[in-house]
Amino acid sequence: MSKVMIIGAGGVGGVVAHKCAQLPEVFSEIVLASRTEARCKAIAEQLPRPVKTLQVDADNVDELSAVLKAEQPELVINVALPYQDLSIMDACLNAGVHYLDTANYEPPETAKFEYHWQWAYHDRFVEAGLTALLGSGFDPGATNMFTAYLAKHYFDEIEELDIIDVNGGDHGYPFATNFNPEINIREVSAECRHWEDGEFVTTPAMSKMARFECPENVGSYNIYRMYHEELESLSKHFPSLKRAQFWMSFGDSYLKHLEVLENVGMTGIEPVEYEGQQIVPIQFLAKLLPDPSTLGPRTKGKTCIGTIVRGRKDGQEKVMYLYNICDHQECYEEVKSQAISYTTGVPAMIGAKMILEGHWKRPGVWNMEQCDPDPFMADMNRYGLPWQVVELDPNFRLDVQKGQE
C-alpha cells in the first residue's frame, strides 16, 4: 500500500493514472501533478477513484522538492518530458523519494540520447538508499525485459539483437506523431547508430530499410533502422552482443512529410529570430500538430513490438522472437488512449509495482535489464500487454531491401 506521485498529464500520464487507479492494493494513494493542472483534472475525472491533482513546474528543483516533502509519496513516476529527468531526480534525492522514468535525459539544446547524465547519479541514490529505475516504458522498457527474459531462459550467450517496433495503426491524419511531437521528431530525424563488434557505427537517418512480416496477421511493413536509447544500456549489460539494431515502421505519408519539414528547416532545434521573438522551429511545429493524447478515438489497427535474439544454447545456434501485439481501439475502450501511450504507460505502472512490492527495490540507478525479468513479464500478461515467444529458423535473416552492408 503506497502513495505515488505521477508527474506529467499527457498521453502517457493519462494511461499511468488509469492503470495505477485500477490497482488500489498497490497504489493506495495517487497524486497527479503537472505543469497544467487542468489536464490533471481532466484525467482525474475519467478515473474509477479519486486522485489528488497539483500544479508543479518540474524544471524547478526547489519547487518540486517542497511539493514532494509536503506530499511524501514513496515513488515518483516521471512521465513528463525527458528534459525534466535530472531536475526530478534531484528533487527525489532532496525529499527521499524513489524515482522511475520512461525516457532518458535529453538536454533541450542538443538531441543526444545518452544515459551518462543519469548513470552519474548512481552513487547519490545508493547513499540515499533510494531506487531509480530508468526507461520503464515499452521501448525502452518492455524491449529491455524481452531481451533479458530471452537471455535468461533460452540462451547461454546472446550474440545478435533486433528490436522491431511496428505501429500498424492509422489515425487518419496525413501527419501526426503518436507521442510528444517534439521528442518524436528529434528521435527519428537523428543519425542512425547501431552496435557492431564492440562499437557504435553511425549511418544516415533512414538509410537502411527492411520488410517485416508481423505474426498473427498484423501485416507486412517497411521498417527503418534508427538509433534508440536502449541500445546503449543493452550493449553495456550484455557484452556478448556482437550486433544490436533497432527498427521502426514508418508509413510513406509520414516519411514524405518529415522529409519536407526537415528540408525547409521546420524540425530545427536552434532558436531563430522572427519579428523580434526567438522561436524554436520544432516547438512551433509541435504546436501545429495534433495533440497525441487526442488520437485515441480515431486510431485503428495494431502495434507489434518485439525482440529477435540470436545466440547459442548448448553449442547450437538459435533464434527466438518475443513480441506483444496491442490493439489501438481496445486500449481506447479501456483507458481512453491509443496503443502507443498504452504500451508505454502499462510498463511504467508495472515498473513502479516492482519497486513498491520490493522485487526491484535496490539503492542505485538501474536500467530495466539489470533487474529480474520474471515478475515483470508475469505482470505484462496480467495487466494488458500479453506476450508470445516463438523459435524462428536458425537461418532467419531480416529481409533488408535498402542499405545492404
Dihedral, 68, 69, 72, 74 alpha carbons, nearest 10: 60
Exposure string (b/e) for 21-53, b if CB count within 10 Å is 16 or more? bbeeebbebbbbbbbebebbeebbeebeeebeb
Which DSSP symbol is given to 72?
-
Tell which positions 254-293 bind ligand NDP, by CB under 6 A: 292-293
CA distance 131 to 361: 6
Piece in contact with ligand NDP (CB under 6 A), picked from 77-85, 256-264, 357-365, 376-384: 77-85
Locate the DSSP E strands across 102-240. Answer: 131-134, 157-167, 192-196, 199-203, 209-214, 219-226
Quote the CA–CA distance of 359 and 372 in Å, as a whole number: 8
Nearer to ligand NDP, 8 or 281 (CB): 8
Q: How far is the CB of 45 from ligand NDP (least distance, A)?
A: 15
Q: Decide: is 141 part of the binding site for ligand NDP (CB under 6 A).
A: yes
| In the complex, least distance from residue 315 CB atom to ligand NDP, rounded to whole angstroms | 36
Q: What is the distance between the alpha carbons of residues 80 and 58, in angstroms, rounded to a whole number? A: 8
167 binding ligand NDP? (CB under 6 A)? no
How close are the terminal C-alpha atoms of the chain, in Å? 53
Nearest approach in angstroms of CB 11 to ligand NDP is 4
Comparison of 10 and 306: residue with beta carbon closer to ligand NDP: 10
Q: Which stretch binds ligand NDP (CB under 6 A): 29-37, 117-125, 207-215, 233-241?
A: 29-37
To ligand NDP, the closest distance from the beta carbon of 134 in angstroms equals: 10
Contacts with 81 (C-beta within 8 Å, 6 or more apart), sequence order: 8, 103, 180, 182, 183
11 interacts with ligand NDP by CB under 6 A: yes
Q: Is 37 in the site for ligand NDP (CB under 6 A)?
A: no
Minimum distance of ligand NDP from residue 152's CB (angstroms): 21
Would you say 155 or 323 has its CB closer to ligand NDP? 323
- Helix runs in 155-251, H state only: 181-189, 230-237
Of 365, 372, 368, whose CA–CA distance to 85 is shortest? 365
67 binds ligand NDP (CB under 6 A): no
367 contacts ligand NDP (rule: CB under 6 A): no
Choose, by CB under 6 A, the member of 27, 53, 140, 326 that binds ligand NDP.
Answer: 140
> Which member of 4, 13, 169, 310 binds ligand NDP (CB under 6 A)?
13
**79 binds ligand NDP per the rule CB under 6 A:** yes
Binding flag, residue 168, ligand NDP (CB under 6 A):
no
CB closer to ligand NDP, 10 vs 373 = 10
Subset of 302-331 contacting ligand NDP (CB under 6 A): none
Please tell me the distance from the alpha carbon of residue 372 to that of residue 374, in angstroms, as a whole number. Answer: 6
Residue 36 lies near ligand NDP (rule: CB under 6 A): yes
Is 18 an interacting residue with respect to ligand NDP (CB under 6 A)?
A: no
Q: Is 34 a residue that touches ligand NDP (CB under 6 A)?
A: yes
The contacts of residue 320 (CB under 8 Å, 6+ apart) are 150, 154, 155, 308, 309, 389, 390, 391, 392
Q: Closer to ligand NDP at the Cβ: 63 or 159?
A: 63
- DSSP code per residue over 6-45: EE--SHHHHHHHHHHHT-TTTEEEEEEEES-HHHHHHHHT
Residue 205 beta carbon to ligand NDP: minimum distance, rounded to whole angstroms: 18
Which position's Cβ is nearest ligand NDP? 10
Contact 224, 206 (CB under 8 A): yes
- Residues in the interface with ligand NDP (CB under 6 A) total 34
Bridge partners of 322, per DSSP, are 307, 389
Is residue 138 close enough to count as binding ligand NDP by CB under 6 A?
A: yes
Nearest to 11 by CA among 306, 340, 392, 272: 340
- Which cell numbers in the block locate residue 269? 532545434
Closer residue to ligand NDP, CB minimum distance, 134 or 309 = 134
Q: Which residues bind ligand NDP (CB under 6 A)?
A: 7-13, 34-36, 39, 56-59, 79-82, 84, 102-103, 137-141, 179-180, 183, 292-293, 340, 344
